[in-house]
Every structure is written in structure tokens, then in C-alpha cells.
A = this chain, B = another copy of it.
Amino acid sequence: MVQAINGGVTAPAGFLATGICAGIKKGSKKDMALVFSTVPAVSAGVFTTNVVKAAPVKWDKFVTEESAFAQAIVVNSGVANACTGESGYKNCMDMAAEVGAHLSIPASAVLVASTGVIGRPLPMDIIKDGIGKMSRCLGSTRDDGRLAAEAIMTTDTKSKEKAVQTVIDGKTVTVAGMCKGSGMIHPNMATMLCFVTTDAAISREMLQKALREDVVDTFNMISVDGDTSTNDSVLVLANGLAQNEEITGEGAAYDAFCEALHAVMVSLCRKIAGDGEGCTCLFEATVVGAATKEQARTLSKSIVCSNLTKAAIFGHDANWGRILCAMGYSGAEFDPEKVDLYFESSAGKLKIVENGMDTGYSEEKATEILSQETVRAIADIKMGTQTATAWGCDLTYEYVRINGDYRS
């Protein structure tokens, strides 16, 4: 039984965090965050598949794969530290070393993440100053998780947190996370940045397995604009303070942990898609009746990635031909003349297409359904029992404005 609770990354036992305005961004926006586990934790990570990988992605791969334990995550927004060559990697290591010195832990226990403009060098003086400040005020307020979630935002309009609890071996285990992501969102592994903390006791192998398997149905199923970033990372720290018996293999305890992890990840995915750059709504596409899970994923993701469909959703226009078209070019096989299609939202559910043809539905009702904050398309392809959901958003004038003028 997974139960939602208030809070973010500091909800699990033993985690502190903070977020500050270090001065990387113009104005007085927060731009650095630090998450710290008071005891050593095991870590796991999944990262962008983009050939162009930002320096922190390379560093974090090393930490999650090679380091004995991890205990901190330092994050900056404003500059992505991607396409910055050797000096970029050195800056990344210097960030880890600086955090390690302040918190008395090895540099190899510090995960690093950056997000922002590609190609610019990190302003290291400002960053080192910021690390000093954060180390001193870690956990000094009750809003610490929230401050961190705010500090990692770029074009996000809302901070994104989630925390849940479950019971494993009679012990309460908490899993929590925060993430950011608004544009350049089409993860092939993970989205821009997501950080999950838990007090569960779990081996590194099982933590990595749980994460790797969950992203397939969560972060790999969201898209804002089809652009897979250079910095995508999902990092998890598990510090064992919940005192459940360490999870070292499959079974009921592992399943309970995965269920809690999934609840956090899905919630964060929906928050990212619903806060896509310039968007006015969260657009979910669910494919049911698929022969295989993979087919359902391919079809649902193709729907939320279609620019034409997204523009129609923005216009509250039930232009269903674009959805069938997007399914058709997805690469998955199906019979278009067997497809049923529904639109659903808080305003109701309407059958738009039956066996590939118009049902003669009410355009007025369809527009009402499509005018809500969360809009869902459901396609039944009548080939089997598998299902998958993908998350996206509408395509708006505001998306173009934000991205026509990002660096100014």
C-alpha cells in the first residue's frame, strides 16, 4: 500500500537539502541546490543516450558505477556544462571536491548535475561560493526540500516534488523525489534532472534494477518537444535508515519498493509533461488492446510527440485524423480500420472514432472535453491486452516565444 505524504527529497529519514541564489542566473532566482544524506547511501542512475553527454553525466556514471557509496548531490541551473570539453569535466570534479571538503566526505561520494545553456563554461568562483553557503545552511529551515526543488528550475513554472510511504518488513519506508524539466524534454533514459531519495535498505544492484526498469514506463514515456537533452539524469540515493531488512533480491519487499518508486516517478513525469514549455495542458495518450507492451508504448509515445496533434489540442480541436496519422507512422503495426478512439477529461468521455471511422460525435462536446487542464486520448487497437500511457502537452505560441529567444 503506497500512500502519498507531503514533502520532497527530505521526507525520508536522514536527508537534508537546501536551495539558494548563488548568482549564476540573472536577477534573484535560485540556481543551486544541495541534497545530503547524513549517512552513506547506495546510489543508482540512468542517463541520457544522447551521444553528446554533458560533463556531469560522465562524472555521475563513474560515481554510480564505481564509487563505494554516495552521500550528496550538488546541482546548478543556468549553465548545462555540456559541450565544454576537458575543462568542463575538470570543473565538474572540482564541484564534487568542494562539496566533499565542506561536508567531510570523499569527492567520489558527490553526484553533480547541471542544467541550462549548452556551451558556456561554469562560473566556478560563484559556484564554489554557493557550495560554501549551502553547506552552512543545510537543513536550517523546514522548507529545505522545497528550496532545492525550486533551485533546479529553468523554464519550469512550478517546482516538482513527490513523496510516498509504504511498509516493508513492518518498517515504514519513505520514497521521495524532485525533478525539473520543461523544454528539451524527450528523454531516452531519463528526463533532464530527477533526484529520488529513500530511506529504504536496498542493495545497489537491486536499486539500479528497480530504477532501470521503472524509467521505461515513466521518464521514457514523456515528451515535450522531441529533443533528447545532453544532461538527462535520474539519480537515486537509498540510505537504509528505515531499517527494513536490506533488499538484495526479488520478492515481496522488492515489489513493495518498486511500487513506491513507481508512484513517485509517475507523479513527477506527469508534473514535467503538464509543465512543458509554454503549454496549457497535460496531454496523456493511453493505448489499450495492444498485442505487446512495446507496441503500446511506441503508439502512445508517437501520439504525444506529434506537433500537429499537439497544436490541435492547444486549439481544443478534435482533429482525430492527426492521432491516427501519428499512430500510423510510429513504426508499430496495427489495423487502422479496427481502431476505436476516445477523448476523456474531467468534462467527460466521448467516442470519436469507431473501427477507424468518425462516429459522428458532437464537436461541441469534444471541444469542452479538450478544454480542461488534463486531456486524455485513449486508442483501442483490439489486438490483445497490453496497455501503455505516454505524457506530453500541447504546442503553443508560448513554446515558440520561449525558444526563439532562450538565451537573451
Say yes or no: A322 contacts B404, CB within 8 Å.
no
Contact across chains for B357 and A85 when beta carbons are under 8 A apart = yes
- State whether B307 touches A119 (Cβ < 8 A): no
On whether the beta carbons of B314 and A400 are closer than 8 Å, the reply is: yes
CB distance from A383 to the nearest CB of B (A): 13
Contacting residues, chain B, for A353 (C-beta < 8 A): 83, 119
The 0/1 profile, CB within 8 Å of B marked 1, for residues 395-408 of chain A is: 11101111111111
Protomer copies: 2
Q: How far is the CB of A291 from chain B (nearest CB, A)?
A: 14
Asked if A342 lies at the interface with its beta carbon under 8 angstroms from chain B, I say: no
Question: Is A319's CB under 8 angstroms from B406's CB?
Answer: yes
- Which B residue sits closest to A405, measured CB to CB? B315
B-contact 0/1 string along A319-359, CB 8 Å cutoff? 11110111111101110110000000000000001011110
CB distance A226 to B227 under 8 Å?
no
Q: Decide yes or no whether A317 CB sits under 8 A from chain B.
A: yes
A312-B404 CB under 8 A given contacts A51-B328, A357-B119: yes
Q: Is the CB of A328 within 8 A of B52?
A: yes
C-alpha gap A313/B334 in the complex (Å):
37
Contacts of A403 in B (CB 8 A): 307-308, 311-312, 315, 395
Query: From residue A211, how far is it (CB to closest CB) to chain B in Å?
Result: 21
Give 15 A-B contacts (CB < 8 Å), ordered by A residue. A49-B329, A51-B328, A51-B333, A51-B334, A52-B327, A82-B321, A82-B325, A83-B353, A83-B358, A85-B357, A119-B357, A227-B308, A228-B325, A230-B325, A319-B407
Top 8 closest pairs, chain A to chain B, by CB: A118-B321, A315-B404, A52-B328, A311-B403, A228-B329, A50-B328, A51-B328, A225-B307
